[in-house]
Amino acid sequence: MAQDDRPLSPHLQVYRPQFTSVLSILHRMTGVALGLGALLLVYWLAAAAAGPQWFNGARAVAGSWLGWLVLVGFTWALFYHLCNGIRHLFWDIGMGFDLTVARLTGWCVVLASLALTGAAWVVGAGGLGGLP
């Protein structure tokens, strides 16, 4: 098997987690989580297309405290992945690789994702029906 001859990646188990490496794995984890969140969006849209009874079912799920908690989590995952994705796009054009800059942009991503999540839910609370 040619596969066995390939060089191994650094073993994550023996690496001490660092700020930048934690942000890196969070990018993947939020990406995978957003795949589950996308299923909720499909359910919501399909329910809206199916009619008011179906939609009210989806609305009841989203409007419960558990649903609200999950949606806040997904909002943060979405904004984290978006902000860190922009950081990745700058790396793709060769910018921001310096360690101090990478740490600084990392903190920007963390703070921006929290601020945007907060802003979205403040707007949401003032929306049509308000919070549940």
Partner 1 sequence: MNGPTAFGSRFRRLGGLGSAREGAAHWWAQRLTALALVPLVFWFVASLAALTGAGHGEVVAWLRGPIAPVMMIALLAAGFHHLQLGLAEVIEDYVHNQAAKITLIIAVKGGAALCALVSILSVLRIALGP
Residue 96 within binding range of partner 1, rule CB under 8 A: no
Residue 108 within binding range of partner 1, rule CB under 8 A: no
H/E run at residue 124:
helix 99-125
Residue 60 within binding range of partner 1, rule CB under 8 A: no
Q: Exposure of 81 by Cβ count < 10 A (0-12 exposed, 13-18 middle, 19+ buried)?
A: buried
Shorter beta-carbon distance to partner 1: residue 14 or 49: 49
Give the up-direction half-sphere exposure of residue 130: CA atoms within 13 A in the CB hemisphere: 1
Closest of 51, 47, 78 to residue 61, by C-alpha: 47
Contact window for partner 1 (CB under 8 A) among 14-22, 32-40, 99-107: 32-40
Q: Using CB under 8 A, pick the residue from 61, 70, 72, 86 that binds partner 1.
A: 86
Q: Using CB under 8 A, pick the residue from 82, 102, 108, 110 that binds partner 1.
A: 82
Residue 10 within binding range of partner 1, rule CB under 8 A: no
Cα 41 from Cα 78, distance rounded (Å): 13
- Least spacing, CB of residue 91 vs partner 1, in Å: 11
Cα 63 from Cα 106, distance rounded (Å): 33
Residue 28 within binding range of partner 1, rule CB under 8 A: yes
